[in-house]
Chain A
Amino acid sequence: MNAPDRYERFVVPEGTKKVSYERDTKIVNAGSFTIEREDHTIGNILRMQLHRDPNVLFAGYKLPHPLQYKILVRVHTANQSTPTQAYTQAINDLDKELENLKQAFEDEKIRYEERPKQGY
Protein backbone atom coordinates (compact mmCIF):
# COMPACT_ATOMS: atom_id res chain seq x y z
CA MET A 1 0.00 0.00 0.00
CA ASN A 2 2.59 2.55 1.05
CA ALA A 3 5.54 0.94 -0.72
CA PRO A 4 7.22 3.31 -3.17
CA ASP A 5 6.81 2.53 -6.85
CA ARG A 6 9.71 0.55 -8.21
CA TYR A 7 10.38 2.92 -11.07
CA GLU A 8 11.23 5.61 -8.53
CA ARG A 9 14.58 3.87 -8.14
CA PHE A 10 15.77 4.95 -11.57
CA VAL A 11 13.48 7.67 -12.93
CA VAL A 12 14.51 11.19 -11.96
CA PRO A 13 11.45 13.17 -10.86
CA GLU A 14 10.55 16.25 -12.85
CA GLY A 15 12.05 19.42 -11.48
CA THR A 16 15.01 17.58 -9.96
CA LYS A 17 18.47 17.81 -11.46
CA LYS A 18 20.29 14.57 -12.02
CA VAL A 19 23.56 15.98 -10.66
CA SER A 20 23.99 18.98 -8.39
CA TYR A 21 27.12 20.35 -6.77
CA GLU A 22 27.47 22.02 -3.40
CA ARG A 23 30.72 23.66 -2.37
CA ASP A 24 31.99 23.06 1.12
CA THR A 25 31.78 26.30 3.06
CA LYS A 26 34.66 25.45 5.40
CA ILE A 27 37.29 23.79 3.21
CA VAL A 28 38.67 25.14 -0.04
CA ASN A 29 38.60 22.88 -3.08
CA ALA A 30 36.07 20.58 -1.47
CA GLY A 31 32.44 19.87 -2.21
CA SER A 32 29.71 17.28 -2.59
CA PHE A 33 27.96 16.06 -5.70
CA THR A 34 24.41 14.79 -5.27
CA ILE A 35 23.58 12.25 -7.97
CA GLU A 36 19.91 11.33 -8.15
CA ARG A 37 18.69 7.81 -8.83
CA GLU A 38 22.06 6.11 -8.78
CA ASP A 39 23.56 3.51 -6.49
CA HIS A 40 26.76 1.55 -5.95
CA THR A 41 27.16 0.84 -9.65
CA ILE A 42 28.12 4.40 -10.49
CA GLY A 43 29.28 5.43 -7.04
CA ASN A 44 31.96 2.79 -6.72
CA ILE A 45 33.59 3.20 -10.13
CA LEU A 46 33.48 6.97 -9.76
CA ARG A 47 35.12 6.89 -6.35
CA MET A 48 37.82 4.45 -7.41
CA GLN A 49 38.58 6.47 -10.53
CA LEU A 50 38.85 9.64 -8.47
CA HIS A 51 41.35 7.86 -6.23
CA ARG A 52 43.61 7.38 -9.23
CA ASP A 53 43.88 11.14 -9.74
CA PRO A 54 46.90 12.39 -7.74
CA ASN A 55 45.25 15.78 -7.33
CA VAL A 56 42.38 14.24 -5.39
CA LEU A 57 43.03 14.27 -1.66
CA PHE A 58 39.75 12.64 -0.68
CA ALA A 59 36.98 10.93 -2.61
CA GLY A 60 34.14 8.97 -1.10
CA TYR A 61 30.48 8.31 -1.64
CA LYS A 62 27.52 7.18 0.40
CA LEU A 63 23.88 6.31 0.03
CA PRO A 64 22.16 8.35 2.75
CA HIS A 65 19.28 5.89 3.15
CA PRO A 66 18.04 2.91 1.15
CA LEU A 67 14.77 4.71 0.44
CA GLN A 68 16.50 7.89 -0.68
CA TYR A 69 17.53 6.96 -4.19
CA LYS A 70 20.63 9.09 -4.51
CA ILE A 71 24.32 9.08 -3.73
CA LEU A 72 26.48 11.81 -2.27
CA VAL A 73 29.99 11.94 -3.69
CA ARG A 74 32.40 14.03 -1.66
CA VAL A 75 35.57 15.22 -3.37
CA HIS A 76 38.47 17.18 -1.93
CA THR A 77 41.30 18.21 -4.23
CA ALA A 78 44.65 19.91 -4.04
CA ASN A 79 45.08 23.51 -5.16
CA GLN A 80 46.02 22.48 -8.69
CA SER A 81 42.51 21.20 -9.34
CA THR A 82 38.88 21.65 -8.35
CA PRO A 83 36.26 19.06 -7.47
CA THR A 84 34.37 19.75 -10.68
CA GLN A 85 37.51 19.32 -12.74
CA ALA A 86 38.41 16.06 -11.05
CA TYR A 87 34.84 14.81 -11.35
CA THR A 88 34.65 15.56 -15.06
CA GLN A 89 38.08 14.05 -15.63
CA ALA A 90 37.06 10.85 -13.85
CA ILE A 91 33.93 10.46 -15.96
CA ASN A 92 35.86 11.10 -19.16
CA ASP A 93 38.47 8.50 -18.22
CA LEU A 94 35.84 5.92 -17.32
CA ASP A 95 34.04 6.52 -20.59
CA LYS A 96 37.26 6.03 -22.55
CA GLU A 97 38.04 2.88 -20.59
CA LEU A 98 34.63 1.43 -21.43
CA GLU A 99 35.05 2.38 -25.07
CA ASN A 100 38.38 0.58 -25.03
CA LEU A 101 36.78 -2.43 -23.34
CA LYS A 102 34.04 -2.59 -25.95
CA GLN A 103 36.61 -2.59 -28.74
CA ALA A 104 38.57 -5.29 -26.92
CA PHE A 105 35.48 -7.49 -26.80
CA GLU A 106 34.76 -6.97 -30.50
CA ASP A 107 38.32 -7.87 -31.45
CA GLU A 108 38.37 -10.85 -29.12
CA LYS A 109 35.08 -12.20 -30.49
CA ILE A 110 36.51 -12.15 -34.01
CA ARG A 111 39.64 -13.92 -32.82
CA TYR A 112 37.58 -16.49 -30.91
CA GLU A 113 35.32 -17.31 -33.84
CA GLU A 114 38.27 -17.70 -36.23
CA ARG A 115 40.19 -19.91 -33.82
CA PRO A 116 38.65 -23.25 -34.85
CA LYS A 117 39.44 -22.61 -38.51
CA GLN A 118 43.10 -22.28 -37.66
CA GLY A 119 42.86 -25.60 -35.90
CA TYR A 120 41.75 -27.43 -39.04
Chain B
Amino acid sequence: MERAAGGVSYQRFPRVRIRELKDDYAKFELRDTDASMANALRRVMIAEVPTVAIDLVEIEVNSSVLNDEFIAHRLGLIPLTSAAAMAMRFSRDCDACDGDGSCEYCSVEFHLAARATDSDQTLEVTSNDLRSTDPKVCPVDQARAYQHALGGTEPFDTAAAADQRGILIVKLRRGQELRLRAIARKGIGKDHAKWSPAATVTFMYEPEIRINEELMETLTLEEKRNLVESSPTKVFNIDPNTQQVVVEDAEAYTYDDEVIKKADAMGKPGLIEINAKEDSFIFTVETTGAITAYELIMNAITVLRQKLDAVRLQDDDADLGELGAHLVGG
Protein backbone atom coordinates (compact mmCIF):
# COMPACT_ATOMS: atom_id res chain seq x y z
CA MET B 1 0.00 0.00 0.00
CA GLU B 2 2.69 2.49 1.00
CA ARG B 3 4.79 1.79 -2.06
CA ALA B 4 1.83 2.17 -4.37
CA ALA B 5 0.90 5.47 -2.81
CA GLY B 6 4.41 6.80 -3.30
CA GLY B 7 4.84 5.52 -6.84
CA VAL B 8 4.37 7.37 -10.10
CA SER B 9 0.87 8.37 -11.03
CA TYR B 10 -1.01 7.83 -14.28
CA GLN B 11 -3.75 10.26 -13.33
CA ARG B 12 -5.44 12.37 -15.96
CA PHE B 13 -6.68 15.91 -15.59
CA PRO B 14 -10.07 16.20 -17.30
CA ARG B 15 -11.33 19.57 -18.45
CA VAL B 16 -14.92 20.75 -18.41
CA ARG B 17 -16.73 23.48 -20.27
CA ILE B 18 -20.40 24.14 -19.51
CA ARG B 19 -22.44 25.26 -22.50
CA GLU B 20 -25.90 25.34 -20.96
CA LEU B 21 -27.02 25.03 -17.37
CA LYS B 22 -30.63 25.20 -16.23
CA ASP B 23 -32.42 23.63 -13.30
CA ASP B 24 -33.32 20.46 -15.16
CA TYR B 25 -30.92 20.54 -18.11
CA ALA B 26 -27.20 20.79 -18.67
CA LYS B 27 -24.97 20.53 -21.69
CA PHE B 28 -21.22 20.39 -21.21
CA GLU B 29 -18.00 19.27 -22.82
CA LEU B 30 -15.75 16.75 -21.09
CA ARG B 31 -12.18 16.50 -22.38
CA ASP B 32 -8.88 14.81 -21.64
CA THR B 33 -10.43 11.60 -20.38
CA ASP B 34 -11.59 8.45 -22.12
CA ALA B 35 -14.84 6.73 -22.96
CA SER B 36 -14.77 4.47 -19.92
CA MET B 37 -14.87 7.43 -17.54
CA ALA B 38 -17.56 9.20 -19.56
CA ASN B 39 -19.66 6.05 -19.66
CA ALA B 40 -19.16 5.41 -15.95
CA LEU B 41 -20.46 8.89 -15.19
CA ARG B 42 -23.41 8.35 -17.51
CA ARG B 43 -24.30 5.03 -15.89
CA VAL B 44 -23.99 6.44 -12.39
CA MET B 45 -26.14 9.47 -13.23
CA ILE B 46 -28.89 7.26 -14.61
CA ALA B 47 -28.98 4.43 -12.10
CA GLU B 48 -26.91 5.05 -8.98
CA VAL B 49 -27.55 8.59 -7.78
CA PRO B 50 -30.04 8.32 -4.91
CA THR B 51 -33.37 10.14 -4.79
CA VAL B 52 -36.54 9.89 -2.75
CA ALA B 53 -39.72 8.28 -4.04
CA ILE B 54 -42.89 6.94 -2.51
CA ASP B 55 -42.31 3.32 -1.64
CA LEU B 56 -45.18 2.25 0.65
CA VAL B 57 -48.82 3.27 0.43
CA GLU B 58 -51.52 2.55 3.01
CA ILE B 59 -54.91 3.33 1.53
CA GLU B 60 -57.66 3.99 4.07
CA VAL B 61 -60.46 4.91 1.70
CA ASN B 62 -60.56 4.50 -2.05
CA SER B 63 -63.91 4.72 -3.79
CA SER B 64 -62.44 5.98 -7.07
CA VAL B 65 -62.57 4.05 -10.31
CA LEU B 66 -58.91 3.04 -10.02
CA ASN B 67 -57.90 0.20 -7.76
CA ASP B 68 -55.44 0.52 -4.88
CA GLU B 69 -52.44 -0.92 -6.70
CA PHE B 70 -52.91 1.38 -9.67
CA ILE B 71 -52.97 4.47 -7.47
CA ALA B 72 -50.00 3.25 -5.44
CA HIS B 73 -47.99 2.75 -8.60
CA ARG B 74 -48.83 6.22 -9.86
CA LEU B 75 -47.83 7.73 -6.53
CA GLY B 76 -44.47 5.99 -6.69
CA LEU B 77 -43.67 7.56 -10.04
CA ILE B 78 -44.17 11.15 -8.87
CA PRO B 79 -40.76 12.86 -8.71
CA LEU B 80 -40.07 14.32 -5.28
CA THR B 81 -37.50 17.00 -4.57
CA SER B 82 -34.47 15.08 -3.39
CA ALA B 83 -31.73 17.57 -2.60
CA ALA B 84 -31.58 15.98 0.85
CA ALA B 85 -31.40 12.41 -0.46
CA MET B 86 -27.61 12.12 -0.36
CA ALA B 87 -27.65 12.77 3.40
CA MET B 88 -30.55 10.42 4.14
CA ARG B 89 -30.12 6.80 5.12
CA PHE B 90 -31.25 3.82 3.13
CA SER B 91 -34.09 2.09 4.93
CA ARG B 92 -32.36 -1.27 4.99
CA ASP B 93 -29.26 0.25 6.62
CA CYS B 94 -31.09 2.41 9.17
CA ASP B 95 -30.49 1.40 12.77
CA ALA B 96 -32.76 4.06 14.26
CA CYS B 97 -35.93 2.23 13.25
CA ASP B 98 -34.39 -1.24 13.23
CA GLY B 99 -35.13 -1.84 9.58
CA ASP B 100 -38.77 -0.75 9.64
CA GLY B 101 -38.03 2.06 7.23
CA SER B 102 -40.42 4.49 8.88
CA CYS B 103 -38.33 6.87 10.97
CA GLU B 104 -37.35 10.43 10.21
CA TYR B 105 -33.80 9.51 9.21
CA CYS B 106 -34.71 7.22 6.35
CA SER B 107 -38.23 8.12 5.25
CA VAL B 108 -40.68 10.94 4.70
CA GLU B 109 -44.39 10.57 5.32
CA PHE B 110 -47.07 11.90 2.99
CA HIS B 111 -50.80 12.22 3.49
CA LEU B 112 -53.53 12.70 0.94
CA ALA B 113 -57.21 13.27 1.65
CA ALA B 114 -59.55 14.21 -1.17
CA ARG B 115 -63.30 13.96 -1.44
CA ALA B 116 -65.55 15.07 -4.26
CA THR B 117 -68.38 17.05 -2.70
CA ASP B 118 -71.89 17.20 -4.03
CA SER B 119 -71.10 18.93 -7.27
CA ASP B 120 -71.20 17.88 -10.87
CA GLN B 121 -67.62 19.00 -11.35
CA THR B 122 -65.05 16.23 -11.61
CA LEU B 123 -62.38 16.65 -8.95
CA GLU B 124 -58.81 16.15 -10.16
CA VAL B 125 -56.54 14.80 -7.45
CA THR B 126 -52.99 15.87 -8.25
CA SER B 127 -49.57 15.83 -6.65
CA ASN B 128 -50.41 19.22 -5.18
CA ASP B 129 -52.83 17.47 -2.85
CA LEU B 130 -50.03 15.45 -1.25
CA ARG B 131 -49.02 16.81 2.16
CA SER B 132 -45.45 16.12 3.22
CA THR B 133 -44.15 15.95 6.77
CA ASP B 134 -40.78 17.25 5.55
CA PRO B 135 -40.80 20.50 3.56
CA LYS B 136 -37.51 19.56 1.87
CA VAL B 137 -39.19 16.58 0.20
CA CYS B 138 -42.31 17.42 -1.76
CA PRO B 139 -43.63 16.87 -5.27
CA VAL B 140 -41.59 18.65 -7.88
CA ASP B 141 -44.53 20.71 -9.13
CA GLN B 142 -45.26 21.99 -5.63
CA ALA B 143 -41.68 23.19 -5.29
CA ARG B 144 -41.88 24.96 -8.63
CA ALA B 145 -45.21 26.60 -7.82
CA TYR B 146 -43.82 27.69 -4.47
CA GLN B 147 -40.79 29.30 -6.11
CA HIS B 148 -43.06 31.02 -8.58
CA ALA B 149 -45.23 32.36 -5.77
CA LEU B 150 -42.10 33.75 -4.14
CA GLY B 151 -41.54 35.85 -7.21
CA GLY B 152 -39.63 33.73 -9.65
CA THR B 153 -37.87 35.40 -12.54
CA GLU B 154 -40.01 33.82 -15.22
CA PRO B 155 -43.10 35.78 -16.20
CA PHE B 156 -46.50 34.20 -15.78
CA ASP B 157 -47.67 32.46 -18.91
CA THR B 158 -49.85 29.60 -20.02
CA ALA B 159 -47.01 27.10 -19.91
CA ALA B 160 -46.18 28.05 -16.35
CA ALA B 161 -49.83 27.83 -15.40
CA ALA B 162 -50.06 24.40 -16.96
CA ASP B 163 -46.92 23.33 -15.14
CA GLN B 164 -48.43 24.29 -11.81
CA ARG B 165 -51.49 22.11 -12.14
CA GLY B 166 -49.56 19.24 -10.59
CA ILE B 167 -49.31 15.63 -11.71
CA LEU B 168 -52.73 14.05 -12.07
CA ILE B 169 -53.22 11.02 -9.82
CA VAL B 170 -56.90 10.21 -10.18
CA LYS B 171 -60.22 11.89 -10.98
CA LEU B 172 -63.11 11.69 -8.54
CA ARG B 173 -66.77 12.01 -9.34
CA ARG B 174 -69.48 13.12 -6.94
CA GLY B 175 -69.30 11.30 -3.64
CA GLN B 176 -66.05 9.48 -4.35
CA GLU B 177 -63.22 9.73 -1.84
CA LEU B 178 -59.52 8.97 -1.58
CA ARG B 179 -57.61 8.94 1.68
CA LEU B 180 -54.17 7.43 2.13
CA ARG B 181 -50.83 7.58 3.88
CA ALA B 182 -47.61 7.13 1.90
CA ILE B 183 -44.00 6.64 2.94
CA ALA B 184 -41.20 7.84 0.68
CA ARG B 185 -37.74 6.35 0.97
CA LYS B 186 -34.29 6.80 -0.46
CA GLY B 187 -33.36 4.55 -3.35
CA ILE B 188 -31.37 4.31 -6.57
CA GLY B 189 -32.46 3.81 -10.14
CA LYS B 190 -30.86 0.37 -10.25
CA ASP B 191 -33.56 -0.78 -7.83
CA HIS B 192 -36.50 0.85 -9.58
CA ALA B 193 -36.68 3.45 -12.31
CA LYS B 194 -38.83 5.67 -10.10
CA TRP B 195 -35.68 6.51 -8.16
CA SER B 196 -33.71 7.55 -11.23
CA PRO B 197 -33.14 11.32 -11.17
CA ALA B 198 -32.31 11.45 -14.87
CA ALA B 199 -34.86 11.74 -17.61
CA THR B 200 -31.96 10.97 -19.91
CA VAL B 201 -28.20 11.33 -19.99
CA THR B 202 -26.39 10.98 -23.28
CA PHE B 203 -22.97 11.79 -24.58
CA MET B 204 -21.55 11.87 -28.06
CA TYR B 205 -18.02 11.81 -29.36
CA GLU B 206 -16.95 15.07 -30.87
CA PRO B 207 -16.37 14.48 -34.59
CA GLU B 208 -13.18 15.56 -36.30
CA ILE B 209 -13.93 16.46 -39.91
CA ARG B 210 -11.24 17.09 -42.51
CA ILE B 211 -11.90 18.09 -46.10
CA ASN B 212 -9.37 17.29 -48.81
CA GLU B 213 -9.12 20.68 -50.49
CA GLU B 214 -7.31 19.37 -53.57
CA LEU B 215 -10.03 16.85 -54.38
CA MET B 216 -12.70 19.40 -53.53
CA GLU B 217 -11.33 21.76 -56.17
CA THR B 218 -12.09 19.20 -58.87
CA LEU B 219 -15.83 19.31 -58.11
CA THR B 220 -18.30 21.53 -59.91
CA LEU B 221 -20.67 23.72 -57.96
CA GLU B 222 -23.53 21.35 -58.69
CA GLU B 223 -21.53 18.40 -57.42
CA LYS B 224 -20.64 20.33 -54.27
CA ARG B 225 -24.29 21.11 -53.70
CA ASN B 226 -25.21 17.44 -54.11
CA LEU B 227 -22.48 16.46 -51.66
CA VAL B 228 -23.71 18.95 -49.08
CA GLU B 229 -27.29 17.74 -49.45
CA SER B 230 -26.36 14.08 -49.15
CA SER B 231 -26.02 14.41 -45.38
CA PRO B 232 -29.39 13.91 -43.63
CA THR B 233 -28.37 16.48 -41.04
CA LYS B 234 -26.97 19.89 -41.89
CA VAL B 235 -23.27 19.36 -41.32
CA PHE B 236 -21.80 21.10 -44.37
CA ASN B 237 -22.61 24.21 -46.29
CA ILE B 238 -21.30 26.10 -49.30
CA ASP B 239 -19.63 29.39 -48.52
CA PRO B 240 -21.43 31.89 -50.80
CA ASN B 241 -18.31 34.03 -51.18
CA THR B 242 -15.71 31.41 -52.03
CA GLN B 243 -17.98 28.62 -53.34
CA GLN B 244 -16.10 26.26 -51.02
CA VAL B 245 -17.62 23.46 -48.97
CA VAL B 246 -17.24 24.32 -45.29
CA VAL B 247 -18.25 22.59 -42.07
CA GLU B 248 -21.26 24.42 -40.70
CA ASP B 249 -22.11 22.33 -37.63
CA ALA B 250 -19.78 19.44 -36.88
CA GLU B 251 -21.85 18.24 -33.97
CA ALA B 252 -24.90 17.73 -36.15
CA TYR B 253 -23.09 14.73 -37.63
CA THR B 254 -24.72 11.46 -36.64
CA TYR B 255 -21.95 9.12 -37.77
CA ASP B 256 -24.10 7.83 -40.61
CA ASP B 257 -21.28 7.87 -43.22
CA GLU B 258 -23.74 9.18 -45.82
CA VAL B 259 -21.51 11.97 -47.04
CA ILE B 260 -18.55 9.58 -47.28
CA LYS B 261 -20.60 7.15 -49.36
CA LYS B 262 -21.63 10.03 -51.58
CA ALA B 263 -18.01 11.00 -52.10
CA ASP B 264 -17.18 7.40 -52.99
CA ALA B 265 -20.09 7.27 -55.43
CA MET B 266 -18.78 10.43 -57.08
CA GLY B 267 -15.43 8.72 -57.59
CA LYS B 268 -13.68 10.81 -54.93
CA PRO B 269 -12.77 8.46 -52.06
CA GLY B 270 -10.98 10.30 -49.29
CA LEU B 271 -12.66 13.57 -50.13
CA ILE B 272 -13.91 13.94 -46.57
CA GLU B 273 -12.56 12.15 -43.51
CA ILE B 274 -14.60 12.03 -40.32
CA ASN B 275 -13.26 10.47 -37.15
CA ALA B 276 -14.52 10.52 -33.60
CA LYS B 277 -12.14 12.11 -31.14
CA GLU B 278 -11.57 9.59 -28.40
CA ASP B 279 -10.96 12.10 -25.64
CA SER B 280 -13.74 14.66 -26.19
CA PHE B 281 -17.33 14.09 -25.16
CA ILE B 282 -20.39 16.30 -25.35
CA PHE B 283 -22.82 15.46 -22.57
CA THR B 284 -26.51 16.24 -22.41
CA VAL B 285 -28.12 15.82 -18.99
CA GLU B 286 -31.85 16.14 -18.40
CA THR B 287 -33.37 15.52 -14.99
CA THR B 288 -36.87 14.80 -13.77
CA GLY B 289 -36.68 17.80 -11.46
CA ALA B 290 -35.93 15.75 -8.35
CA ILE B 291 -32.49 17.34 -8.23
CA THR B 292 -30.93 19.99 -10.41
CA ALA B 293 -28.74 19.00 -13.31
CA TYR B 294 -25.67 20.40 -11.57
CA GLU B 295 -26.47 18.46 -8.39
CA LEU B 296 -26.90 15.31 -10.48
CA ILE B 297 -23.45 15.70 -11.99
CA MET B 298 -21.79 16.44 -8.65
CA ASN B 299 -23.63 13.62 -6.89
CA ALA B 300 -22.59 11.22 -9.65
CA ILE B 301 -18.93 12.08 -9.10
CA THR B 302 -19.37 11.62 -5.35
CA VAL B 303 -21.13 8.27 -5.79
CA LEU B 304 -18.49 7.04 -8.21
CA ARG B 305 -15.76 7.92 -5.72
CA GLN B 306 -17.68 6.08 -3.01
CA LYS B 307 -17.84 3.03 -5.23
CA LEU B 308 -14.11 3.19 -5.83
CA ASP B 309 -13.50 3.40 -2.09
CA ALA B 310 -15.72 0.37 -1.60
CA VAL B 311 -13.66 -1.76 -3.99
CA ARG B 312 -10.31 -0.94 -2.39
CA LEU B 313 -8.30 -3.88 -1.15
CA GLN B 314 -8.36 -4.51 2.57
CA ASP B 315 -5.01 -4.63 4.31
CA ASP B 316 -5.03 -8.39 4.69
CA ASP B 317 -5.55 -8.87 0.96
CA ALA B 318 -2.72 -6.49 0.21
CA ASP B 319 -0.47 -8.30 2.67
CA LEU B 320 -1.35 -11.59 1.08
CA GLY B 321 -0.43 -10.19 -2.31
CA GLU B 322 2.84 -8.84 -1.03
CA LEU B 323 3.58 -12.08 0.79
CA GLY B 324 2.85 -14.06 -2.34
CA ALA B 325 5.12 -11.86 -4.41
CA HIS B 326 7.81 -12.14 -1.78
CA LEU B 327 7.56 -15.92 -1.71
CA VAL B 328 7.87 -16.12 -5.46
CA GLY B 329 10.72 -13.63 -5.45
CA GLY B 330 12.54 -15.48 -2.67
Tell me if B18 and A18 are in contact (CB < 8 A). no
A45 x B40 contact (CB < 8 A): yes
Of A7, A44, A90, A104, which is within 8 A of B92 by CB? A7
The answer to whether A19 has its CB under 8 Å from any CB of chain B is yes
- Count B-side interface residues using an 8 Å CB cutoff: 54
Known A42-B308, A48-B36, A96-B9: A10·B188 in contact at CB below 8 Å: yes
Q: B residues within 8 A CB of A17? A: 314
- Check if A62 is an interface residue, CB within 8 A of chain B: no
Write the chain B residue with the least CB distance to A102: B301
Q: Which of A29, A40, A49, A100 contacts B14 (CB 8 A)?
A: A100
Residues of A in contact with B, size category:
35 or more
How many whole Å from A76's CB to the nearest CB in chain B? Answer: 13
Given A42-B308, A42-B311, A101-B33, 18 other A-B residues pairs in contact with their CB atoms under 8 A: A7-B191, A11-B92, A23-B321, A28-B328, A31-B321, A35-B311, A41-B307, A45-B36, A49-B36, A82-B322, A85-B7, A91-B311, A93-B10, A94-B308, A97-B12, A101-B14, A102-B301, A109-B18
CB pairs A–B below 8 angstroms (19 shown)? A6-B191, A10-B191, A17-B314, A18-B310, A19-B311, A29-B325, A41-B307, A45-B40, A84-B321, A88-B318, A89-B4, A89-B10, A90-B10, A95-B308, A97-B11, A97-B14, A101-B33, A105-B298, A113-B21
B-to-A contact residues, CB < 8 Å: 1, 3-5, 7, 9-18, 21, 28, 33-34, 36-37, 39-40, 43-44, 48, 92, 188, 190-192, 294, 297-298, 301-302, 304-305, 307-314, 317-318, 320-322, 324-325, 328
